Chains A and B, each alone.
Chain A
Amino acid sequence: KAGVTQTPRYLIKTRGQQVTLSCSPISGHRSVSWYQQTPGQGLQFLFEYFSETQRNKGNFPGRFSGRQFSNSRSEMNVSTLELGDSALYLCASSLAAVGEKLFFGSGTQLSVL
């Protein structure tokens, strides 16, 4: 069974640009969540989708958005990139609706210059 797949693996952007990251969950998983990991702030929750609906949202500005498609694949978008958005973005999928273990992808390393 394939794991959680995130593309691309690495991205380099410049300030002011926008970026879209993709996540394909494990087959059958309907919950997809996104996390930002930085050396200074650690792992922080961005948002979670379940059956195409955003269920939870972390404390990030509106420049960070996401969506989930009917096949459970998810994308997150960051507009007007700032230097501080440089981070490893991790996607996780889960089988159940609530409180189930999460399986993580390898992440997308975003560098903003």
Chain B
Amino acid sequence: AQSVTQPDIHITVSEGASLELRCNYSYGATPYLFWYVQSPGQGLQLLLKYFSGDTLVQGIKGFEAEFKRSQSSFNLRKPSVHWSDAAEYFCAVINNAGNMLTFGGGTRLMVKP
């Protein structure tokens, strides 16, 4: 069965500092991986996705993620965090028999001024 682990429940960074959110997955085949962001009381917005090809993928809002098969990881990064980035971030893997996402538990990001 597929699974996703986000080891950090909360992360606090200062505005302007760099950010890395960790994600580890378990999946039998080549995974399709996603990062979503959720603001309070809202739905999920797609930041980026990895299906195949270049292992470093660029997303919206200046985010990027790197797929590392050997480490079963898909970590999200941003070089300089803005206060508006404060939100909850979810890593997810999709099955290959449909569009069923398995989510990690999420990482809540707080940004200090």
- Once bound together, how far apart are the Cα atoms of A97 and B49, in whole Å? 17
Return 10 A-B CB contacts under 8 Å, by A number. A42-B106, A43-B101, A43-B103, A43-B106, A48-B99, A56-B95, A97-B99, A99-B32, A99-B96, A102-B34
How many residues of A are counted as interface, with CB atoms below 8 angstroms from the partner's CB atoms? 30
- Once bound together, how far apart are the Cα atoms of A86 and B46, in whole Å? 25
Taken residue by residue from 70 to 113, chain A's Cβ proximity to chain B (1 for < 8 Å, 0 otherwise) reads as: 00000000000000000010101010111111111111010000
Contacts of A31 in B (CB 8 A): 98-99
Interface residue A33 (Cβ < 8 Å from any Cβ of B): yes
How many residues of B are counted as interface, with CB atoms below 8 angstroms from the partner's CB atoms? 25
Residue positions of A touching B, CB distance < 8 A? 4, 31, 33, 35, 42-45, 48, 50, 55-56, 58, 88, 90, 92, 94, 96-107, 109
Structural contact, B103 and A102, CB atoms closer than 8 A: no
Interface residue B84 (Cβ < 8 Å from any Cβ of A): no
Contacts A99-B51, A101-B49 given; indicate if A48 touches B98 (C-beta within 8 A).
Answer: yes
How far apart are B85's CB and chain A's nearest CB, in angstroms?
19
Structural contact, B44 and A99, CB atoms closer than 8 A: no
Structural contact, A106 and B97, CB atoms closer than 8 A: no
Contacts A45-B100, A48-B100, A55-B98 given; indicate if A102 touches B46 (C-beta within 8 A).
Answer: yes
Structural contact, B96 and A42, CB atoms closer than 8 A: no
